Structure 1
Amino acid sequence: MNEGFIPTQLINRDINRLKGYKELLDFYHGRHWEGYARRGEKRLTFNYAKVVIDKITSYLMSGITFTVEAVEDSDEARARAQRAERALYQVYEDNNLEQLDFETEIDCAILGNACFKVIWDTETKGVRITTPDIQGIYAWWLGDDTSR
């Protein structure tokens, strides 16, 4: 199925995307000038992009809540919905999703891409959520065919 696929070749398959990410991150971090400053040269940088992204992200990500509605009008359905809502809040707290959401939203605003990895942790018997660096995520149209 994956004949001829060599994982170390991944970086060469997506050079333009990775180069674009570097340029966008540089701009966000205030590295707007190309090349090096000449001796004694002062380079003025107004980093409006970082200010706007950080402010809007902070506004958008504040006060997140969950609501699970009962699928029918019965005491049992309402109780099930309340248990589901409590479970969501527990996963949110256990994984520090307030911080992860904020960081991932900033990545998405800068790079145009972001992702979460959601797994079942067999040791803790709970949901574990992480945010892998999008620069290390590679996807194909056909999951079982890395040549496409």
Structure 2
Amino acid sequence: MYFRKVRPNAIAPTRAHSWDAGYDLYSCEDISIGPMERKLIPVGIEIEIPTGCYGRIAPRSGLAVRAGIDVLAGVIDCGYRDEVQVVLQNLNLPEVLFKNPSDKRGHTNTALFGDKNRHDIAAGDRIAQIIIEKCYYPAWIEQETLADQDRNGGFGSTGI
């Protein structure tokens, strides 16, 4: 797989184990993501994905479980030739501290927002993984009816 560094501190994608499906992607910047905030994080490389494939940007399970950080917008087409960037969202809610409204000393707002659930990312941190997957390019043919199936409903129609 061909890639090119476009930032001096870029780190090549790596796998922890030879059997891992995803290659870790590394942040090139120090970035802080507040609660319910999303940020575009540069990884400092351009990649040449083989024709017939695409790159799927997926979350790192540790970031998701331990920090509430998820990946959004995760498809890189084989023809894309610009710096790879990852959209991360902090799914944690802001901490709200309430002030007694009868207390007239100092600040009189009734709610203050703390910064407890902010997540800091340092340059060089692993932030996501890329998985190279094959694509299927079907011809789209409009039909008046579709083949019957035993399965209908969807969206939890068979229970939780």
The TM-score normalised by the length of structure 2 is 0.22
Q: Identify, as 1 or 2, the structure richer in strand.
A: 2
Q: Identify, as 1 or 2, the structure richer in helix.
A: 1
